């Protein structure tokens, strides 16, 4: 078997993840791969070149990697404007096109099936994102999350509302609960109520539209449905100290679940973490990549890459997803794109 992997440092440069870790390199080399790592590829995720070298990777300059004919190029984000290695196959998030690559696999197209779970970077990264978002609520709130009794007085637990209960939302619920918050949650799919209850959170029930999309995702609502839902959710948003929104519809702008009126009704010092900011936002008034203070004292956080804030762990999860995927890609020592999961990822 003569198979080689070249790592592509993350772009944009404010994404600190790396698609393969030294631990993952060790596993790949045992499986027969040669791994080429450009200098500094893992530095932002706290993986030094020395760790990759100790794992058996070959450390090269970025220019040397991009000029080398390799079998697979691993990236986090597929960006057509950067120099990828002349690879037979490039794997990452996005649809390309990728210069010099004969074939691209778009990780977001991986089917949501039981067999695919071990390769699903969207889920592994969303899990971390939900954790980071809950910590961000605690960071920005000017009050404690848990109840506390002292000689100087006592506090009640902060109220956290999670809107959208996919992978990120479930982790946000679990983390906020561990931080001591009183958590409630809503999802347009009524069947997730049991998952909310299993984490010890209260289910927000409103009379309104429901929507089930493909592959377990929520479906889209029309403008009238969105407006009706905003009105139903307003009192729950107004009563919360912290709100985490995670609602996304694949291929479409994120639904705006929180109206300007709902933001205006919140108490000063309250916090909203809009995890859908990159795709338009769930909250009227949030801006992608910005932290905004409203005139009534509400903090709106529009961070667009929560997993990158936990770059080391995010990279470890990503790397294991890639180790699992690469095991499917190789049949009898030869790279093969015939598996049904692999075919589904071709843009």
Identified catalytic residue from 46, 50, 117, 198: 117
Residue of 112, 143, 198, 227 marked active site: 112
Find the angle CA(15)-CA(258)-CA(260) to the nearest 5 degrees: 105
Pairing between β-strand 330-331 and β-strand 334-335 as defined by DSSP bridges: antiparallel
332 counts as catalytic: no
Q: What is the DSSP string of 102-120?
A: S-EEEGGGS--STTTGGG-
Is position 123 annotated as part of the catalytic site? Answer: yes
From the candidates 4, 17, 120, 184, give the one annotated as an active-site residue: 120
* Six token digits for residue 197: 């209850």
Token output for 25: 């390199």
- Strand 3-7's sheet: what is its strand order? 58-60, 33-38, 3-7, 70-77, 87-93, 104-106
Q: Is residue 289 a contact partner of residue 274, using CB atoms and an 8 Å limit?
A: no
Integer Cα distance of 45 and 309 in angstroms: 9
- Tell me how far CA of residue 260 lies from CA of 61, 230, 252, in angstroms: 50, 10, 21
Is residue 171 among the annotated active site residues? no
Of residues 17, 14, 13, 7, the one with CA closest to residue 55: 7
Number of H helices, E strands in the chain: 10, 17
CA distance 24 to 319: 6
Helix locations, 73-222, DSSP H: 121-140, 167-178, 193-198
In angstroms, rounded to a whole number, what is the distance separating the alpha carbons of residues 344 and 327?
16
Which residue, 23, 57, 56, is CA-closest to 39? 57
User: Do 314 and 307 meet the contact criterion of CB atoms below 8 Å apart?
Assistant: yes
Is 120 one of the annotated active-site residues of the chain? yes
Considering the candidates 103, 178, 210, 217, report the single residue annotated as catalytic.
Answer: 217
Active site residue 217: yes
Return the active site residues: 112, 117, 120, 123, 217
């Amino acid at each position: 078997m003569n198979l080689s992997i070249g790592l592509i440092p993350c772009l944009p440069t404010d994404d600190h993840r790396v698609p393969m870790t030294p631990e993952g390199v060790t596993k790949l080399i045992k499986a027969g791969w040669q791994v080429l790592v450009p200098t500094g590829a893992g530095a932002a995720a706290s993986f030094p070149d020395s760790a990759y070298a100790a794992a058996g990777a070959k450390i090269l300059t970025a220019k040397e990697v991009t000029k080398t004919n390799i079998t697979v190029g691993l990236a986090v984000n597929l960006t057509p404007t950067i120099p990828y290695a002349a690879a037979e196959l490039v794997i990452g998030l996005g649809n390309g096109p990728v210069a010099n690559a004969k074939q691209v696999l778009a990780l977001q197209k991986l089917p949501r099936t039981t067999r695919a779970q071990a390769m699903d970077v969207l889920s592994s990264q969303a899990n971390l994102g939900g954790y980071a978002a809950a910590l961000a609520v605690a960071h920005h709130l000017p009050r404690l999350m848990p109840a506390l009794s002292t000689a100087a007085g006592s506090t009640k637990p902060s109220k956290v509302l999670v809107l959208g209960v996919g992978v990120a939302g479930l982790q946000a619920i679990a983390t906020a609960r561990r931080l001591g918050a009183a958590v409630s949650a809503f999802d347009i799919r009524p069947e997730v109520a049991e998952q909310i209850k299993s984490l010890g959170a209260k289910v927000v029930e409103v009379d309104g539209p429901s929507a089930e999309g493909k592959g377990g995702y929520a479906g889209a609502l029309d403008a009238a449905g969105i407006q009706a839902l905003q009105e139903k959710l307003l009192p729950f948003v107004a009563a919360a100290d912290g709100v985490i929104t995670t609602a996304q519809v694949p291929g479409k702008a994120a639904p705006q679940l929180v109206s300007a009126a709902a933001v205006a009704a919140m108490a000063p010092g309250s916090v909203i973490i809009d995890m859908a900011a990159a795709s338009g936002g769930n909250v009227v008034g949030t801006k992608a990549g910005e932290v905004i203070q409203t005139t009534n004292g509400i903090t709106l956080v529009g961070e667009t890459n929560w997993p990158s804030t936990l770059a080391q762990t995010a990279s470890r999860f990503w790397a294991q997803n890639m180790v699992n995927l690469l095991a499917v890609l190789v049949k009898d020592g030869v790279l093969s794109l015939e598996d049904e999961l692999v075919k589904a990822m071709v843009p």
